[in-house]
């Protein structure tokens, strides 16, 4: 299985600060169609996960443009500009390029 | 509004069986691949399996293959997960998910314990 390694495991931030989360995969996530199926999810406390970004950099519907995703091959980054209170929770990267789909261990974003 | 509502969770003994349901609304259910994903307490997500829109093809994670069966009723917009020969490490919240993690249900808790 493709191993997804997220760093850091946790982040303590102040409202208004910008942060970045790294996700590295054990294999290239470029599929045979040329697309890269790397996604970012947010699980707010006590809630179901919500997809923020799909295919590396495409913002999900209704997701603020404070969120952005970059990367290629095996190295990806989620950036949150000007963190707001509603952004707190656990962020996961996930890949659906290779079978079976796999998730990172998560990065917990907390208030400083 | 897309809604996915799971039901059928609860306590089951090791070796036992349980069937989960997920009622979908707010979209044309028969047009979408559907997935089941689970999350053990305090852990990350684990993909369980998926089913093609017409129900003709299913895929499963190796950890649950031959124990779990995914099916669907497109006339009723319901997704199912039949779990058998369950183990204690199957204790988790089970989510019904549309497509590649686009929409998630609220989840249903399954506890496997004697």
Chain A residues close to B61, C-beta within 8 Å: 100
* Distance (Å) of CA B32 to CA A45, A49, A52: 28, 19, 19
State the residue for tokens 């686009």: B102
Measure A83 CA to nearest chain B CA, in Å.
23
- Give the contacts of B31 (CB within 8 A, at least 6 positions apart): B53
Residues of A (37-56) whose Cβ lies below 8 Å from B? 37, 39, 41, 48-51, 54
- pLDDT per residue rounded down to tens, chain B (114 residues): 999 999 999 999 999 999 999 999 999 999 999 999 999 999 999 999 999 999 999 999 999 999 999 999 999 999 999 999 999 999 999 999 999 999 999 999 999 999
Q: Do B101 and A99 touch (CB under 8 A)?
A: no
Q: Are strands B3-7 and B18-25 parallel, antiparallel or unpaired?
A: antiparallel
Cβ A101 vs Cβ B47: under 8 Å: yes
Residues in B lying within 8 Å of A, measured between beta carbons: 44-47, 59, 61-62, 95, 100-107
- pLDDT per residue rounded down to tens, chain A (112 residues): 999 999 999 999 999 999 999 999 999 999 999 999 999 999 999 999 999 999 999 999 999 999 999 999 999 999 999 999 999 999 999 999 999 999 999 999 998 8
Q: Do A49 and B101 touch (CB under 8 A)?
A: yes
**pLDDT tens figures, B87-107:** 999 999 999 999 999 999 999
Give the dihedral sign, CA B41/B46/B48/B52: positive
DSSP A26-48: SS--B-TTS-B-EEEEEE-TTS-
DSSP state of A74: T
The tokens of B25 are what? 């609304």
* Secondary structure E strands in chain B: 3-7, 10-12, 18-25, 34-39, 45-51, 58-60, 68-73, 78-83, 92-98, 103-104, 108-112
Measure A17 CA to nearest chain B CA, in Å.
26
Q: Are strands A102-103 and B92-98 parallel, antiparallel or unpaired?
A: unpaired
Chain A residues close to B101, C-beta within 8 Å: 39, 41, 49, 51, 54, 94, 96
């Amino acid at each position: 299985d493709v191993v997804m390694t997220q760093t850091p495991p946790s982040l303590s931030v102040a409202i208004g600060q910008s942060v970045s989360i790294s996700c590295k995969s054990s294999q290239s996530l470029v599929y045979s169609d040329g697309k890269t199926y790397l996604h970012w999810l947010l699980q707010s406390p006590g809630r179901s996960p919500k997809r923020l970004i799909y295919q590396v950099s495409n913002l999900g519907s209704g997701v603020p443009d404070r969120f952005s995703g970059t990367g290629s091959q095996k190295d990806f980054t989620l950036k949150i500009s000007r963190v707001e209170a509603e952004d707190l929770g656990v962020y996961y990267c996930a890949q659906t390029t290779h079978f079976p789909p796999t998730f990172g261990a998560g990065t917990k974003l907390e208030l400083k | 509004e897309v809604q996915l509502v799971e039901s059928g969770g609860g306590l089951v003994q090791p070796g036992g069986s349980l069937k989960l349901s997920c009622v979908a609304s707010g979209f044309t259910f028969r047009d979408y691949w559907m997935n089941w994903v689970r999350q053990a307490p305090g852990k990350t997500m684990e993909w369980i399996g998926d089913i093609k829109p017409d129900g003709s093809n299913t895929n499963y994670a190796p950890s649950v293959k031959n124990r779990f069966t995914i099916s669907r009723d497109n006339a009723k917009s319901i997704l199912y997960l039949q779990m058998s020969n369950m183990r204690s490490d199957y204790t988790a919240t089970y989510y019904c998910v549309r497509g590649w993690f686009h929409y998630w249900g609220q989840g249903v808790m399954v506890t496997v314990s004697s």
